[in-house]
Amino acid sequence: MFLRMRAEDPADRPPRHAEAGPVHLGPGPEFDLIRRFLAGSAADGARADVRVGPGDDCAVVAGNGIALSTDMSVEGVHFRRDWLAPREIGWRAAAAALSDLAAVAARPIGILVSLAAPAADTGDFAVQVMEGCREAAEHAGGILLGGDLTRSPGPMVIDVTVVGEAPRPVLRSGARHGDEVWVTGELGGSAACIEALLAGKAPAAEARERFARPIPRVREAQWLLGRGLLNAAVDLSDGLAGDACHIAAASGVAVLLVPELLPVHPAARRRARGQMLRLALGGGEDYELCFTAPVGAVEPHAAAFRRTFGIRLSCVGRLGGGDGVWFVDAEGRRTSPGISGWQHFGGDT
């Protein structure tokens, strides 16, 4: 959804620790552009039918809370045909959008899929892409509600809009000073796969699975919401270092991460520390959740969570005063993580 312009050029990554803008996005030129988009918009909250306007993972409309978000994928930028089967292309595109529903703890109703494709691909290829989208939607508990299909000279473009019910949406702005910071699952698996593919190597099977069929954490989010464990949440599409900035900016806090606590995916764990942290914090596309909760609230539920979903919950730090995202050591000293954010394979490095 907005508020994340997906920058493929690393030079456009937001610098960390700069000042947050008035719409509570993280800093950086890409978000400046989005602030320009929103300048002059009808004000958030000015309408009874808009509970949450632009500025979070989803908008939430109507009395009972309908969560909406949209996510666009471009061939050659977000996916490559030589790396993924058509069904996987569709799954990933839909999973990325469904992950925004997880971030507000919405229950998926369905998706709308728009597809621009060259004429040669509007047969079996398009059908398989669409089937992949639908499989991801149905896996998350939603259905294919509709869409649009149009010819294009290319590249193929897939835009997925997700719709869910969120009577109690979890926002980026609900974090409180002192909260623990938690993440679901493991980080860096998808980035490790991309790194291998770019190097012309075969990725580890479990890393490729994370890349090709990421699981949006929609059921996990509802489970956590039902136990009162989500003060604030964001999904990890651009990497923890970048995405946690949005919680910091929206909630007026600093996110203090303990690097030793990060649940690094096995495929990323084999690297030197710097590279491992880069994959885990800046790799993006893991589609895990980062959330904050009161001290001590999550731990009693961690074992049940793991039994239920087969993935772990990890406390990776705390929220403190200030802003931005920092590494913190045992003495409480803050250092910059020095992670340049999401390194997409379409980027220069």
Q: Which of the residues 37 through 96 are near a second copy (CB under 8 A)?
A: 37-38, 40-42, 47, 49-50, 53-55, 58-59, 61-64, 66, 68-74, 76-78
Nearer to a second copy, 73 or 251 (CB): 73
* Phi-psi domain of 17 (left: phi exceeds 0; alpha: psi -120 through 50; beta: other): left
Nearer to a second copy, 51 or 210 (CB): 51
Binder of a second copy out of 10, 80, 127, 227 (CB under 8 A): 127
SS3 130: helix
Q: Among residue numbers 8 through 27, which ones bind a second copy (CB under 8 A)?
A: 8-9
Binder of a second copy out of 15, 85, 119, 304 (CB under 8 A): 119
Residue 61 CB, shortest distance to a second copy, in Å, is: 5
Residue 133 CB, shortest distance to a second copy, in Å, is: 9
**Residue carrying the six token digits 């509600």:** 145
Beta bridge partners of 314: 183
189 binds a second copy (CB under 8 A): no
- Distance CA(87)–CA(53), nearest Å, equals 33
Q: What is the DSSP letter of 96?
A: H
Q: Among residue numbers 130 through 159, which ones bind a second copy (CB under 8 A)?
A: 130-131, 134, 138, 143-153, 155, 157, 159
Binder of a second copy out of 18, 80, 83, 109 (CB under 8 A): 109
* Phi-psi domain of 109 (left: phi exceeds 0; alpha: psi -120 through 50; beta: other): alpha
Q: Which two tokens stand for residue 100?
A: 């925004």
Distance between alpha carbon 184 and the CA centroid of its chain, in Å?
A: 12
Residue 48 CB, shortest distance to a second copy, in Å, is: 10
- Distance CA(342)–CA(6), nearest Å, equals 9
Element (H, E) at 183: strand 180-184
Residue 95 CB, shortest distance to a second copy, in Å, is: 15
161 binds a second copy (CB under 8 A): yes
234 binds a second copy (CB under 8 A): no
Residue 2 CB, shortest distance to a second copy, in Å, is: 4
Q: Among residue numbers 256 through 315, which ones bind a second copy (CB under 8 A)?
A: none
Stretch that binds a second copy, among 119-127, 258-266, 291-299, 327-335 (CB under 8 A): 119-127
Nearer to a second copy, 155 or 252 (CB): 155
Q: Which residue, among 197, 285, 289, 305, has the nearest Cα to 247 in the 3D structure?
A: 289
- Distance CA(179)–CA(251), nearest Å, equals 11
Q: At what angle do helices 273-282 and 240-251 cross, to 10 degrees?
A: 50
Residue 86 CB, shortest distance to a second copy, in Å, is: 13
